[in-house]
Homo-oligomer: A and B are copies of this chain.
Amino acid sequence: MTRSVADLLFRPRSIVVYGASSDPDKLSGRPLDYLKRFGFSGQIYAVNPRRPEVQGIRAYAKVADVPGPVDLAIVVVPAPAVVEAIRACADAGVGAAIIFASGFAEIGADGRPQQDEISAIARRTGMRVVGPNCLGSFAAEDRAFATFSTAFDEDGERAVSPIALASQSGAVGTFTYSTMNAVGLGVTYFANTGNEADVTVTEILSALVDAPDVKVLMGHIEGCGNMEALATLASAARERGKPLIILKSGRTPAGARAVAAHTASAAGDDTAFEVVLTAHGAIRVPSMEAMADTALALVDGRRAAGRRLTIVTLSGGGGALAADRAVELGLQVDTWASEQDRSVLAAELPYFGSTMNPIDVTGAMINDLSLLERTLRIVSDNEDTDAILVLLGNADRGSDEIVATLIKAHRATNKPFLVAWTGGSGRPRTALLQAGVPTYTDPHRATECMSRVIHVDLPST
């Protein structure tokens, strides 16, 4: 039985590094180093005609000499040697090959024929090809680090979240990964597809849509020739309740020129792209930062039953900013219908706060923290509240207790619960993130993420 592209890339039984160097600092030496150092669970081989052994791994002169089936070949030879290597891999029955080298269709007529030849080999033989012009892939569990990127070469424990991130741009992928790391998120599967001579971002995410260890799918796309495949992916993701977050370049002529120079992609009709995403409830984001922000809001799997957002703030001014943005994005920020809840709140809040939504607990909260605790309990139980946004800021002084109160309140409800903590040292924010409370630096960013959480299951208005 043929293995899926996800199995070959992320759960390979064996990996061969084609052209492996003995210097682990060189691009062509890094994959072997990573596979060994991070403890890849399958078989590792090298192909190197000049040495019997590379970095302690048995090397073969030709890929055909490698014993047993090879699921994945990491091709690290320079561009002029790539077509021959790919042909040899296909002839040897390799399942999939990743090509790092640049210098193909993205440089124009000088590189296009070689890339076309690679595509033709893939089509003819059934061997799957990732790249060229990519930095590879990795799977956290199997430790299949088929990459030369130093972005994953971290000391200490690597955060793993139930997220698949596939990107057409290597740097956008690793920058996004690193931005996610900064808020405590990792990924389970990562792949960069580059010029997409064969395998696309859409195909990789489609192959992972049923994976039980993936709850959020993230894709960066430069070209999109296959709208049908995109629609199928988006629709499958929605059916399974797995948010699909898409960052797409090439909306403008300058952007389209840039993606053509970068991965030889045709950016295509942006309106058509947008229509497909919107029709199937996928989430389009404008930036890498927004991509990471959005994953943070969605990864805990909480979903809102409706559009009614309750904002709890110690800053009336911050509450107004968030309320404006929320309403612009189609959320409801209304005074509660429940008179009983309103009167209980009125009894809790000092006379200069507001029991209307946004609920302003004011700076008095700092001196009497139970005020925040009691307010959040009422909000969690309130039937007119589908999602909760808490706005705080500065004030390291006393922040440990505030953080503890927020963590407790977050755990006590199943409603989406996002926090913005603006300014200050960053210490309270870090503590909240470590406890799994999605926390942002600015009410505006938090509100935009909240609208995405709410719109996963509800069409935008």
Interface residues of A (CB under 8 A from B): 102-103, 106-107, 110, 133, 150-151, 167-179, 181-182, 220, 222, 247, 249-255, 257-259, 261-263, 286-290, 314-321, 323-328, 333-335, 351-352, 354, 356-358, 360, 362-363, 393-395, 397, 422-424, 426, 441-445
* Chain B residues closer than 8 Å to A442, beta-carbon distance: 179, 287-289
B444 touches A175 (CB 8 A): no
* Chain B residues closer than 8 Å to A252, beta-carbon distance: 323-324, 327-328
A178 touches B423 (CB 8 A): yes
A179 (CB) vs chain B CBs: closest residue = B423
* Chain B residues closer than 8 Å to A316, beta-carbon distance: 106, 169, 171, 258-259, 261-263
The distance from the CB of A248 to the nearest CB of chain B, in whole angstroms, is: 9
Other 12 A-B pairs with CB < 8 A, given A175-B423, A179-B442, A288-B444: A102-B352, A102-B362, A174-B393, A178-B423, A182-B423, A220-B317, A247-B321, A259-B316, A287-B325, A287-B442, A288-B321, A288-B422
The distance from the CB of A264 to the nearest CB of chain B, in whole angstroms, is: 10
17 A-B contacts (beta carbon < 8 Å): A150-B397, A169-B318, A171-B363, A173-B317, A176-B423, A179-B442, A247-B321, A249-B317, A251-B328, A254-B327, A255-B320, A255-B321, A255-B327, A257-B323, A258-B354, A288-B318, A289-B444
Q: A178-B424, A422-B178 are in contact. Are A258 and B319 (CB under 8 A)?
A: yes
* Chain B residues closer than 8 Å to A257, beta-carbon distance: 323, 335, 356
A311 (CB) vs chain B CBs: closest residue = B258
The distance from the CB of A261 to the nearest CB of chain B, in whole angstroms, is: 4
B174 touches A317 (CB 8 A): no
CA distance A69 to B195 in the complex (A): 75
* Chain B residues closer than 8 Å to A178, beta-carbon distance: 393-394, 422-424
* Chain B residues closer than 8 Å to A328, beta-carbon distance: 251-252
A261 touches B356 (CB 8 A): yes
* Chain B residues closer than 8 Å to A356, beta-carbon distance: 257-258, 261
**Interface-central residue, A175, A220, A357, by most chain B CB under 10 Å:** A175
A172 touches B317 (CB 8 A): yes
Q: A169-B315, A171-B318 are in contact. Are A150 and B395 (CB under 8 A)?
A: yes
B169 touches A317 (CB 8 A): yes
A324 touches B422 (CB 8 A): no
A287 touches B321 (CB 8 A): yes
* Chain B residues closer than 8 Å to A181, beta-carbon distance: 423
The distance from the CB of A420 to the nearest CB of chain B, in whole angstroms, is: 9
Q: A169-B316, A254-B324, A445-B289 are in contact. Are A175 and B422 (CB under 8 A)?
A: yes
B393 touches A171 (CB 8 A): yes
Q: A254-B326, A254-B357, A422-B178 are in contact. Are A262 and B102 (CB under 8 A)?
A: no
The distance from the CB of A187 to the nearest CB of chain B, in whole angstroms, is: 13
B351 touches A107 (CB 8 A): yes
* Chain B residues closer than 8 Å to A172, beta-carbon distance: 315, 317-318, 321
A181 (CB) vs chain B CBs: closest residue = B423
A168 (CB) vs chain B CBs: closest residue = B317
B441 touches A222 (CB 8 A): no
**Interface-central residue, A247, A317, A363, by most chain B CB under 10 Å:** A317
* Chain B residues closer than 8 Å to A151, beta-carbon distance: 394, 423
* Chain B residues closer than 8 Å to A362, beta-carbon distance: 102
* Chain B residues closer than 8 Å to A424, beta-carbon distance: 178
Point out the residue from B171, B251, B335, B445 that lies within 8 Å of A317, measured CB to CB.
B171
The distance from the CB of A445 to the nearest CB of chain B, in whole angstroms, is: 7
A421 (CB) vs chain B CBs: closest residue = B175
Point out the residue from B168, B247, B422 that lies within 8 Å of A179, measured CB to CB.
B422
The distance from the CB of A26 to the nearest CB of chain B, in whole angstroms, is: 11
CA distance A72 to B198 in the complex (A): 73
A288 touches B443 (CB 8 A): yes
Point out the residue from B150, B259, B358 that lies within 8 Å of A258, measured CB to CB.
B358
* Chain B residues closer than 8 Å to A397, beta-carbon distance: 150
Q: A351-B107, A397-B150 are in contact. Are A175 and B315 (CB under 8 A)?
A: yes
B358 touches A423 (CB 8 A): no
CA distance A323 to B267 in the complex (A): 13
* Chain B residues closer than 8 Å to A289, beta-carbon distance: 422, 441-442, 444-445
